[in-house]
Amino acid sequence: MNAAPRPRARLVELSRYEALKLLGSAPLGRVAFTDRALPAIRPVNHVMDGDTIVIRTHSGSALLKRTLDTEVVAYEADLLDPAARTGWSVVVTGIATRVSDPADLARYQAMLVPWVDAEMGHVVRIQPDIVSGYRLER
C-alpha cells in the first residue's frame, strides 16, 4: 500500500527587503568564493549591519587571501523544514572586502562572536548587489 502523496509547497519570490530581513534572522550561512580557480564554500556565522553582511575569519583563511582587494562572492542562508516542506532560502551576490579601519574592526568584532574556538581577528564585509530569495509555503 502506497502512502498518500504529500502536498507540494508553493514557491514565492521574496522582495529584496524581505530577503535581507530573513538573512538577518539566520544565525549562519555559507560563503562561496573562488580558491585556486575552483569553487569553495565555507560555513560561517554572520551579522547584518544595515544591508551589509559581516563575517569574521582567521589569518590563514582562503577567503581572507582573496579579499586583499575585493572579491565577488555569493552568500547563502536558509531555514528549511524538510518534514513540513516549508521555509526560505536567500542568496546574495556581491563584493567582499576586508575591514581594515580600526574603529570599524573593533565595532564588528564586538557585534559578532565567532562560533569556533580559533583566532578569528579578521572581518570581511559583503555588500549585496544581487539579492534573490524564495519562500516555500503550503
What are the pLDDT digits (tens) for 104-135?
999 999 998 888 777 888 899 999 999 999 99
What are the pLDDT digits (tens) for 29-82?
999 998 888 999 999 999 999 999 999 988 878 887 766 667 899 999 999 999
Q: Helix, strand, coil shares of the chain as percentages rounded to 5?
A: 20, 50, 30
Q: Is the pLDDT of residue 91 over 60?
A: yes
Sign of CA dihedral 65, 50, 90, 117: positive
Count Cα neighbours of 19 within 13 Å in the Cβ-side half-sphere.
Answer: 22
Sign of CA dihedral 45, 48, 53, 58: negative
Sign of CA dihedral 40, 45, 48, 49: negative
Structural domain boundaries in the chain: 10-133
Per-residue pLDDT at 119? 81
Distance CA 90, CA 105 (A): 26
The CATH number of 10-133 is 2.30.110.10
| pTM score | 0.88
